[in-house]
A and B are shown apart, each in its own frame.
Chain A
Amino acid sequence: MSNNKQIPEVDIVVDEKAGVIREIKPEQKLRSKSGHEKRVNVGIYTILTLMAIIWLAPFVFLVFQSFRSYLTENGGMVNYLLPKTWSLDNYIWLFTDEKSLFLRWYLNTLIIALFNAVLQTVIVLSVAYALSRLRFKGRKLIMNAVLVLGLFPGFLTMITLYFLLKQLGLTQNGAIPGLILIYCASSGMGYYISKGFFDTIPKSLDESARIDGATRFQVFMKIIMPLAKPIVIYTILMAFMAPWGDFVFASYVAFGTTTNYNVAVGLYQWVNVADYQGFFTRFCAGGVLVAVPITALFLALQKYYVEGVTGGAVKG
């Protein structure tokens, strides 16, 4: 092998398909045959495996804890990983005990997420379409302003928003509509990816449809929407997931009114305010149940998700 490197010998191969004679340089031969590539691969996969373990460990831990009974073993932290007996006690408690508000919280979260998925999708797609297709005064200004505003973290507005919502009666008892309002209100700012996707759909399709007799709305619904399926699904997915896992806004808008908590806030109350040692495994069980629908949704729609992100990225 090392000989090959030093003596520049050239192999000649007849490529019948192209009808030419090709030279194969020793370096090329070396690369395809040597164990170098394999060694690199082994290295890469080792690193990837390590990273995967680090990432997955908390989730695996969470799942194991959720099956440890709070009745027969210990409801809090223990110094072993696998439960001694596998039980569904935690899950049963979540759904059946009268002290458990889990179902209520779950339902709250679901309502908020579903409403947001619908409203936010409509808003985001409308904004994106308008900015992609219509030319109006201040268009550039709006886009730049949104870009700058987007650089500030959303919870900077927390205090202001809380007082605004309070004026409208949309905190505590009105926390659910209040949260929907918060999530939707600024959602138009997340138009970038959709706009990028719309930009890749030729404008002449719009024009053709308009000459064919369609109104702008008909063009949007009948031509653009079917062609933008990946981005529509991506937008719905994002709009559903954001409130599903939100903690910051949900915790202070519903502050103190336990029946209006979402799942994240509610579960946190158990380990924070309530008996931390006793509720830990039940907290874990709740966490698993929160992850289930979102994981299922993601797996089912990941094809569109990738298409949406990459499709939109072609022209930003």
Chain B
Amino acid sequence: MASVKLEHVKKVYDNNVVAVHDFNLDIQDKEFIVFVGPSGCGKSTTLRMIAGLEDISDGTLTIGDRVVNDVEPKDRDIAMVFQNYALYPHISVYENMAFSLRIRKMSNEEVHKRVTQAAEILGITEYLGRKPKQLSGGQRQRVAIGRAIVRDPAVFLMDEPLSNLDAKLRNQMRAEIILLRKRIDTTFIYVTHDQTEAMTLGDRIVIMKDGYIQQVGTPQQVFETPKNLFVAGFIGSPQMNFLKADLVNKGGQYAVNVQGITVPLEAKHNAILNQKQVKPMPVTLGVRPEHTTLCFDDVSNAIESTVSVNEMMGSELHLHVVTKAGDKVILRIPTIDLTDSQRASLAYGNKLYFNFPGKVMHLFDPKTEESLLYPGD
């Protein structure tokens, strides 16, 4: 158990490539932090700097009360789970888990106690005598986690631990990590490129791109008030729709003109824009697919479009449509509300109308790509 503090941490590789720029983050004790971002965004590099596997080019890293920039990985009191598990192939599962304890010259009884206890938590007791090769992917991942928890580390690092598993197993292991987290109450730093994992696991999410932190916040915060265009597009699946639009102001009430319709902003957002004194301007409008509604009867204030792909997901439809103005938009429509004739009308090539309320809109400055509705830190 320990807090982790990164101040102005920077990573520059020998070939002068800057992988991480000025990374500042305060991780609370017992917090579950997720670093998420596309590949090459510097998330793994940051994790590896915390682990001590990469040198820190600049800035300070504090674990607990100790600056650990120049401390060897083994002395940082951390444990790490790797994407490819990194189990030692030549020794049994038991010895894999006991390795770190034996290095620390722990007594055999203590080793046995800890290993069996960890094995029980993870449900791998019956595999203790096997070699890693004889285990399935999910079991190997459990062993990798077991190897980390026997240590009872202050900080638990996980580098894309679920990426090598198939979809079904990944969901299952994700739930198990949530349970595990409840049982071993310690600080977690988890790296993933999968926004679903980030949303479901993290207390707070750190979204990164090109070595810069884009936004730090709870899953709800980053989903509801993305700080910029990148975060808005990265979080949520299918991805948020972006449309060109115009912000207008009529006597203190802001509204958005988009594709021939006008949508007024809700009071909360209106207040933010008023406070920032935003001038009427062209904006990038963001609307999440699940926040759109189909209009079957009254189409006076709706955007006309043509169905190009109709994906039936079971409980919902993913409609890929092209608006009259030629923009591609994805709509996510619950199937339960649709009548049979309505469903039939959503076939390829047919026209449909959709709109959305003011409260679901995200507005971005097209130049800076910053959100106009972000209330500020």
Which residues of chain A come closer than 8 Å to B257, judged between CB atoms? none
CB atoms of B104 and A207 under 8 A apart: no
Would you give the shortest CB distance from B113 to chain A, in whole angstroms?
18
**A136 vs chain B, min Cβ distance (A):** 10
A227 on the interface (CB 8 Å rule)? Answer: yes
Closest-by-CB residue of A relative to B105 is A213
Residues of B within 8 A of A226 (CB): 90-91
Q: Are A209 and B89 in contact (CB under 8 A)?
A: no
Identify which of A218, A223, A227 gathers the most chain B CB atoms within 10 Å of its CB.
Answer: A223
**A-contact 0/1 string along B80-114, CB 8 Å cutoff:** 10111010111100000001100110000000000
Determine if A207 and B88 form an interchain contact, defined as CB atoms under 8 angstroms apart.
no
Residues of chain A lying within 8 A (CB to CB) of residue B14: 135
Residue from the list B72, B89, B147 in contact with A227, Cβ < 8 A: B89
Q: Assess whether A202 is in contact with B86, with CB atoms less than 8 Å apart.
A: yes
A227 to B88, CA, bound (A): 9
B82 touching A207, Cβ below 8 Å: yes
Look across to chain B and name the residue whose beta carbon is closest to the beta carbon of A201.
B89
Verify B90–A212 contact, CB threshold 8 A: no
Encoded as 1 (CB less than 8 Å from any A CB) or 0, chain B from 36 to 71 comes to: 000000000000000111000000000000000000
Contact with A along B295-319 (1 / 0, CB 8 A): 0000000000000000000000000
B-facing residues in A180-236 (Cβ within 8 Å): 202, 204-205, 207-215, 218, 222-223, 226-227
Residues of B close to A207: CB separation below 8 A: 51, 53, 73, 80, 82, 86
| Chain B residue at minimum C-beta to C-beta distance from A137 | B14
In the complex the two chains form, what is the Cα distance from A215 to B147 in whole Å?
18
From B103, which residue of chain A is reached at the shortest CB distance?
A213
B2 is an interface residue with CB less than 8 A from chain A: no
A214 and B51 contacting across the interface, CB-CB below 8 Å: no
Residues of A within 8 A of B73 (CB): 207, 210-211
A212 touches B99 (CB 8 A): yes
Chain B contributes a number of interface residues (CB within 8 A of A) equal to 24
- In the complex, the answer to whether B84 meets A202 with C-beta atoms within 8 Å is yes
Whole-angstrom distance between the Cβ of A215 and the nearest chain B Cβ: 7
> Given that A207-B53, A208-B80, A209-B99 are known contacts, is A215 also in contact with B86, CB under 8 Å in the complex?
no
CB of A227 within 8 A of CB of B74, answer no
Shortest Cβ distance from residue B216 to the other chain A in the assembled complex, whole angstroms: 25
Looking across the interface, which residue of chain A has its beta carbon closest to that of B80? A211
B82 touches A204 (CB 8 A): yes
Beta-carbon contact of A213 and B82 below 8 Å: no
Contacts of A218 in B (CB 8 A): 103
Residues of A with C-beta under 8 A to B72: 210
Question: B53, A212: Cβ atoms under 8 Å?
Answer: no
Residues A204 and B84 in contact in the complex (CB < 8 Å), given A210-B53, A213-B103, A218-B103: yes
Q: Could you tell me if B86 and A214 are in contact, using CB atoms closer than 8 angstroms?
A: no
**A128–B374 CA distance with the chains assembled, in angstroms:** 55
Which residues of A58-102 are within 8 A (CB) of B?
Answer: none
Q: In the assembled complex, how far is the CB of residue B224 from the closest CB belonging to chain A, in whole angstroms? A: 37
Q: From residue B377, how far is it (CB to closest CB) to chain A in Å?
A: 34
Across the two chains, which residue of chain B brings its CB closest to A215? Answer: B74
Say if the beta carbon of B145 comes within 8 Å of chain A. no
B20 interface residue, CB < 8 Å from A? no
B103, A212: Cβ atoms closer than 8 Å: yes
- For residue B103, give the distance in angstroms from its CB to the closest CB of chain A: 4
Q: Are B90 and A227 in contact (CB-based, < 8 A)?
A: yes
Residue of B nearest to A225 (CB): B90
Instruction: Specify which of A205, A212, A223 is in contact with B74 (CB 8 Å cutoff).
Output: A212
Q: Given the known A-B contacts A210-B53, A211-B78, A215-B74, are A223 and B84 also in contact in the complex, defined by CB atoms under 8 Å?
A: no
Give bound CA distance, A31 to B291, whole Å.
66
Chain A residues, CB < 8 A from B100: 212-213
Residues in B whose Cβ lies below 8 Å from that of A223: 88
Q: Specify which chain B residues have a CB less than 8 angstroms from the CB of A227 in the assembled complex.
A: 89-90
A210 to B74, CA, bound (A): 6
Scoring A135, A211, A223 by chain B CB atoms within 10 A of each residue's CB, the highest score goes to A211
- A223 and B73 CA atoms in complex are apart in Å by 17
Complex Cα–Cα for A208 and B146 (A): 13
A213 near B104 (CB under 8 angstroms)? Answer: yes
In whole angstroms, how far apart are the Cα atoms of A239 and B88 in the complex? 28
| Among A202, A205, A211, contact of B51 (Cβ-Cβ < 8 Å) | A211
Please, could you name 7 A-B residue pairs with CB atoms under 8 Å apart, sorted by A?
A204-B86, A211-B53, A211-B79, A212-B79, A214-B99, A215-B74, A227-B90
New contact pairs (19) apart from A210-B74, A212-B100, CB-CB < 8 Å: A202-B86, A207-B53, A207-B80, A207-B82, A208-B80, A208-B88, A208-B147, A209-B88, A210-B53, A210-B72, A211-B53, A211-B78, A212-B79, A213-B100, A213-B103, A214-B74, A214-B99, A218-B103, A222-B99
User: Chain A residues in contact with chain B, CB under 8 A?
Assistant: 135, 202, 204-205, 207-215, 218, 222-223, 226-227
Instruction: Report, nearest first, the 3 A-B pairs whose CB atoms are least far apart.
Output: A212-B100, A208-B86, A204-B86
